[in-house]
């Protein structure tokens, strides 16, 4: 049979210097991993913001021009809609609404919007045309609205039949 050889395995405890080097290398690797994760997160956030911006602007399909004249139908419809909101009058508020708009707005929804609006801004007084956008089959008209206690921006969305498809309040544009 064969001879057996005795092999002596010697395990040395780490020296303070080698242990410190090990911890330092491990710490540096962790920092590098954290930096990489931060860069990836930052890059991902930037890409997300770019996509969000593209989605909000309609990927270039929307044109905004302050020089575009106010659509001839928009002012009268907007004034009627805003008076109806200010008076919490559902019939007046939805008079020029398309079927989807009329179906979406109930007296309860109107009251829940009109009450706080009137409390904070007062009664509707007048509006000032700012700009128009065309986005797919919708015309979006921006106004600065004057109330008894302040101003708001309003975005009126009209469908191709010149009926109200939506309305949003926003910070007034300058």
Model confidence over 156-171: pLDDT tens digits?
999 999 999 999 998 8
Distance, CA of 31 to chain centre: 35
**CA distances in angstroms from 70 to 42, 82, 127, 131, listed in the order given:** 42, 17, 12, 7
* pTM (two decimals): 0.61
**Domain spans of the chain, in order of start:** 15-56, 63-170
Q: What does the radius of gyration of the chain's CA atoms come to, in whole angstroms? A: 32
**CA distances in angstroms from 100 to 97, 103, 158, 164, listed in the order given:** 8, 5, 12, 9
Model confidence over 18-69: pLDDT tens digits?
555 656 666 666 666 655 444 444 433 333 333 333 334 344 444 444 468 9
Q: Which of the listed CATH numbers 3.30.450.20, 1.10.3720.10, 3.10.450.590, 3.40.50.300 matches domain 63-170?
A: 3.10.450.590
């Amino acid at each position: 049979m064969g001879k057996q050889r005795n092999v002596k395995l010697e395990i040395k405890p780490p020296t303070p210097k080698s242990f410190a080097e090990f911890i330092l290398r491990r710490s540096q690797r962790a920092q590098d991993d954290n930096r990489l994760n931060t860069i990836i997160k930052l890059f991902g956030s930037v890409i997300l913001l770019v996509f969000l911006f593209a989605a909000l602007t309609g990927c270039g399909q929307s044109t905004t021009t302050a020089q575009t004249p106010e659509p001839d139908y928009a002012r009268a419809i907007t004034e009627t809609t805003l008076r109806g909101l200010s008076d919490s009058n559902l019939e007046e508020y939805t008079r020029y609404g398309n079927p989807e708009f009329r179906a979406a707005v109930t007296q309860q929804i109107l009251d829940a919007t009109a009450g706080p609006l009137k409390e904070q801004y007062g009664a509707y007084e007048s509006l000032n045309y700012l700009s128009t956008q065309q986005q797919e089959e919708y015309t979006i008209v921006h106004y600065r609205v004057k109330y008894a206690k302040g101003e708001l921006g309003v975005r009126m969305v009209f469908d191709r039949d010149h009926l109200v498809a939506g309305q949003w309040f926003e910070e007034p544009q300058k």
